[in-house]
Chains A and B, each alone.
Chain A
Amino acid sequence: EAQVTQNPRYLITVTGKKLTVTCSQNMNHEYMSWYRQDPGLGLRQIYYSMNVEVTDKGDVPEGYKVSRKEKRNFPLILESPSPNQTSLYFCASSPTQNEQFFGPGTRLTVL
C-alpha cells in the first residue's frame, strides 16, 4: 500500500531532550516536507526537500533540523525542544509538483 508513515504518533517529552520524528514514504517520491499544525494558525511548512541531500527552509524552520540521506526517509530533528514546539506535525511527499500525500501526524507535547 502506497503510504507515508510517521513515528512516533504520540510523544511527550521534556524541554531540552533531543528527539527525532521519522518519516518514510514508499512511493519513490522526490519531494518531501514537514508541516506543523497549530490552532488558529493552520498548517505551516517547516522544511522541505526536493531530493536526496537537497533541503531548504520553509516558513517556520527555527528550532528544527532535517536530513535527506535516502530518498524514502526524511527525519525531523528537534535538538533542544521547547514548549512552543508542542504541536501536531505532518510529513508529506509528492512526485514533482503534483498531488501531495500526507502522513497520519505526530502529536508532540514538550513539558
Chain B
Amino acid sequence: KQEVTQIPAALSVPEGENLVLNCSFTDSAIYNLQWFRQDPGKGLTSLLLIQSSQREQTSGRLNASLDKSSGRSTLYIAASQPGDSATYLCAVLAGAGSYQLTFGKGTKLSVIP
C-alpha cells in the first residue's frame, strides 16, 4: 500500500528565506504527484502537478521536483512571504487507471515577518 511522508511536520522561517519542503512515497509506480496548499479551516488549493514523466514544474516562486525512482519530491519556495503561511500537502496518484490520491500529512509552514 502506498504511503506518503512529509518532513518536517512543521517549519518556521523568517520572511525572505528560501525553503524546501520534502515529500517521499513508498511505491514509485505513480501516475502523477500534486502539491496542495491548505489554509486553516479552508479547502485545498492545487499548486503544482507533476506527471510521472516530468522532472519538475514551476509556478511563480514555487518549483516542484520529482525523482520517481527514489520516491521523492521537493517543493521549493523562493523568497518566502507571510502570506505563504499554510499547510502544504503532497499527494500521489497511483498508476494508470487509478483515481485514488494518497496524501501525506502535510508540513505546516509559518513565515515570520
Contacts from A to B (Cβ < 8 Å): 31, 33, 35, 40-45, 48, 50, 58-59, 90, 92, 94, 97-105, 107
B interface residue numbers (CB < 8 A to A): 31-32, 34, 36, 41-46, 49, 89, 91, 93, 96, 98-101, 103-106
List residues of chain A with CB within 8 A of the CB of B105.
40-42
The secondary-structure label for the interface of chain A is strand
Whether A58 pairs with B100 at a CB distance below 8 angstroms is yes
Summarize B's interface: helix, strand, loop or mixed.
strand
Contact of A43 among B31, B45, B93, B103 (CB under 8 A): B103
| Chain B residues within an 8 Å CB radius of A59 | 100
Chain A residues with Cβ below 8 Å from B91 are 43, 100
| Selected A-B contacts with CB under 8 Å, 19 pairs | A31-B99, A33-B101, A41-B105, A43-B103, A45-B101, A48-B99, A58-B100, A59-B100, A92-B44, A97-B93, A97-B98, A97-B99, A98-B49, A100-B34, A102-B43, A102-B44, A102-B46, A104-B43, A107-B41
